[in-house]
Amino acid sequence: MKHLTTPYYLIDENRLLKNLRIIRQVRERSGAKSVLALKCFSTWSTFALMREFLDGTTSSSLYEARLGREEFGKEVHAYSVGFSASDIEAVKEFADKAIFNSVSQLRRYQNEVRGLKLGLRVNPGISYSHFDLANPARKYSRLGVTDANELAQVAPLLSGLMFHFNCENDDFENLSKAIDHIGLNHGSLLEKMEWVSLGGGLFFTRNGYPLDRFCEKLKHFADLFGVQVYLEPGEAAITDSAELVTTVLDVLHNEIDIAIVDASVEAHMLDHLIYRTTPRIASPESGPHRMMIAGRTCLAGDVFGEYGLNARLEVGDEVRIADAAGYTMVKKNWFNGLPMPSIVVRRLDGALEQVRQFDYQDFKRSLS
C-alpha cells in the first residue's frame, strides 16, 4: 500500500488474537460468555475477527447498541445510566437485553421494552479501582441499585442482574472474595435469575493471570445459582494490540531535550491526561538519553512523558506510543483542529490496511 502518513493508530490483529484466544478459553472452561464493552473499544473494522471469539457486545448508549447490532451482529446488551424516552423507543429495535441503572427507570420503561430480557445494575458496595474517578462504589455513587428491598420488589420483572464493580483488576484473590461477597449478599435474588453479568474491568488476559482458578470460580458461581455468567471485557480484549504512530516535528531544549510529535495526549490519548498516567513507548528502544516527548497542541500540559531512549530523537524520527486502543480511540477529539489520526489495521496475514482517513471536512462537520 502507499506510504502511511502519521499520525495513525495501528491495530495489530495478531496481537488482538492473543487476547481473543484467552477469552474463548475462558468460555470453554467456565461456561462464561463474553460481550465486548464498546465504551472501551468500538473500532468496528476489527469486528469480523472479534465476533469469532466473543458472544456479542454491551453498550452504554443508544449509538453503541446500534453499532453492536449493525456491525457485530450477535447478542446486544443495552445499558445506560439514564435512558431517555426516545432512546428506549429506538434501542428496543437493536437490543436483546435492556439493562437499567435504577428501579425508577425500570418501572418507567418496562412496558416499552416488553419482549426483551430485562436486567438491573446492582451496586454491591465493593469495588476495585486505582482511581476514585473510575470507582463504581465511590461515595454517592449513582451507578446501580443499593437498596435490597427495592431489588426484591422488582425481581419478578427481571431476567438478570449486572454487577460492574471493577476497573483494571488483575488481583484474582480480590476478585474471588468479591464474587463470594456477591453470592452471600445477593444469592437469594440470583437464584431467581437466568443470567448475571460480572461486568468488565477484569484483567484476566494479562501474562501470569491464574486462568485455571478464574475459570473454576466462574463455573462454581454459575452452577451454585443456576445462572448464565457474562463477562464484559474491554481492555482485556484489546490490551497491547495497538500503537499510536507519530513523527517528531521539532526538538527543543528547556533544561531537558523536548521532542514535539505530530499527535497529542489531549486530542489522541486523553485518558492519560485525565488519570495523570504516562503511556509506554513501543519504539524507539529505551536507553540512556533522557528526553521529554510532547504533543503539538497549545495546552502546556500536553506531554506524553519523560523517557530514557537509546538515542536522542531528531526531526523526522518515528515514535510509537504503546497500548493505544482501549479508552483511547473512542475518546479522540478535534482539540486545536489537529489532524485526526488515521486508522490502520495490520491483518492476520501481515497486510496493512488503512481503513479510515480523516480530513478538514470531518473536522468541519463535527462542529456547526
Q: Are 101 and 141 in contact (CB under 8 A)?
A: no
Classify residue 1 by burial, with Cβ atoms within 10 Å: 0-12, 13-18, 19+: exposed
Same-domain pairing of 328 and 348: yes
**pLDDT of 66-123, one tens digit each?**
999 999 999 999 999 999 999 999 999 999 999 999 999 999 999 999 999 999 999 9
pLDDT score for 287: 97
Residue with the three cell numbers 447490532? 69
What pLDDT does 1 receive? 52
pLDDT mean over 319-338: 97
Mean predicted lDDT score pLDDT of the chain = 96
The pLDDT tens digits of the residues spanning 164-217 come to: 999 999 999 999 999 999 999 999 999 999 999 999 999 999 999 999 999 999
* 148-152 mean pLDDT: 94
* Shared domain check, 193 and 76: yes
The distance in angstroms from the start CA to the end CA of the chain is: 35
Residue 2 has pLDDT above 80, yes or no: no
Same domain, 25 and 136: yes
Nearest to 319 by CA among 263, 357, 239, 271: 263
- What distance in Å separates the CA atoms of residue 292 and residue 68, rounded to the nearest whole number? 39
**How many domains, the chain?**
2
Q: Could you read off the pLDDT of 21-78 as tens digits, one per residue?
A: 999 999 999 999 999 999 999 999 999 999 999 999 999 999 999 999 999 999 999 9
Strand 195-197 relative to strand 228-231, pairing = parallel
Q: What pLDDT is recorded for position 7?
A: 98
> Are 265 and 192 in the same domain?
no
Q: Are residues 218 and 292 in the same domain?
A: no
Question: In CATH, what number is assigned to the domain containing residue 22?
Answer: 3.20.20.10
Q: With cut-offs at 50, 70 and 90, classify the pLDDT of residue 3.
A: confident
C-alpha cell at 347: 491483518
Q: Do 192 and 315 belong together in one domain? A: no
- Does residue 280 carry a pLDDT above 70? yes
Same domain, 329 and 180: no
276: left (phi over 0), alpha (psi -120 to 50) or beta: left
In this structure, are 50 and 113 located in the same domain? yes
C-alpha cell at 35: 460481550
Taking CA atoms, 87 is separated from 108, 160, 170, 223, 274, in Å, by 13, 21, 35, 35, 28
Residue-level pLDDT at 61: 97
Residues 232-272: tens digit of each pLDDT? 999 999 999 999 999 999 999 999 999 999 999 999 999 99
Look-up: residue for cell 437499567?
100
pTM beyond cutoff 0.85: yes
Please report the pLDDT score of residue 348 as a whole number: 97
The phi and psi torsions of 296 (rounded to 5 degrees) equal -105, 10
Decide: 10 and 243 in contact? Cβ < 8 Å.
yes
Res 138 pLDDT > 80: yes
Give the containing element (helix H, strand E) for 26. helix 13-30
What is the CATH classification number for the domain harbouring 350? Answer: 2.40.37.10
